[in-house]
């Protein structure tokens, strides 16, 4: 029975890995490639303008493009919270959210209700008209970019597992404060005595 459960878990993980690859092939094929300079994002802040990437230069940036009306985005917020708990206190990695919400009140409510404590910014134009959407070739959300300390794309994906794996590569000495996604799929049941 134990061998059967192990086989089922392996097959399930294999299916999810293939499915994850398929998601990037389907929704992430046009995203910026690794090594490409990440386009600057101009943010309206405190009555002025801020260059988002320049402001965070010298750090790796986990840049999450999302919206509160996007069900898939909301599902992935728990993983971003874990990433922020794990890496947000380091001097090297910054989590930043960029929302394509249509309503500021819905965006603010989602941030509050979901306890999003990292930097979050709201696009000032609808997603379909957004310069940022065009610059980053975003056709699907959530889309996550990992940008290096020099402002170049390290990873562009719609698959959170890939982000978590890349962060482990970048900061191997940091103990993750999250369970790997595969452990959430088919946890082994403990035997009762």
Q: What is the pLDDT of residue 45?
A: 81
Q: What is the pLDDT of residue 44?
A: 84
Query: What is the residue-wise DSSP string for 23-34?
Result: HHHHHSTTSPPT
What is the chain's pLDDT, residue by residue, as a tens digit (193 residues)? 555 545 444 444 444 444 455 789 998 999 999 999 999 999 988 778 999 999 999 999 999 999 999 999 999 999 999 999 999 878 899 999 999 999 999 999 999 999 999 999 999 899 999 999 999 999 999 999 999 999 999 999 999 999 999 999 998 888 766 545 444 333 333 344 4
pTM score: 0.81
DSSP 133: H
Assess contact for 41 and 154: CB atoms under 8 A. no
């Amino acid at each position: 029975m134990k061998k059967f459960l192990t086989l089922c878990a392996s097959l399930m993980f294999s299916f999810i890995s293939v499915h994850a690859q398929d998601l990037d092939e389907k929704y992430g094929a046009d995203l910026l490639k690794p090594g490409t300079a990440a386009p600057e994002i101009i943010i309206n802040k405190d009555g002025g303008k801020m260059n988002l990437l320049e402001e965070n230069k010298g750090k790796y940036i986990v840049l999450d493009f999302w919206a509160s009306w996007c069900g898939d985005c909301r599902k992935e917020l728990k993983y971003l919270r874990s990433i922020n708990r794990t890496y947000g206190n380091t001097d090297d990695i910054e989590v930043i959210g960029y929302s394509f919400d249509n309503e500021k009140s819905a965006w603010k409510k989602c941030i509050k209700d979901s306890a999003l404590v990292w930097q979050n910014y709201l696009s000032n134009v609808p997603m379909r008209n957004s310069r940022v959407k065009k610059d980053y070739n975003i056709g699907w959300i959530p889309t996550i970019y990992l940008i290096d300390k020099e402002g170049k794309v390290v990873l562009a994906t719609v698959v959170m597992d890939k982000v978590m794996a890349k962060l482990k590569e970048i900061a191997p000495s940091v103990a993750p404060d999250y369970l790997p996604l595969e452990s959430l799929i088919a946890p082994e049941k403990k035997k009762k005595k």
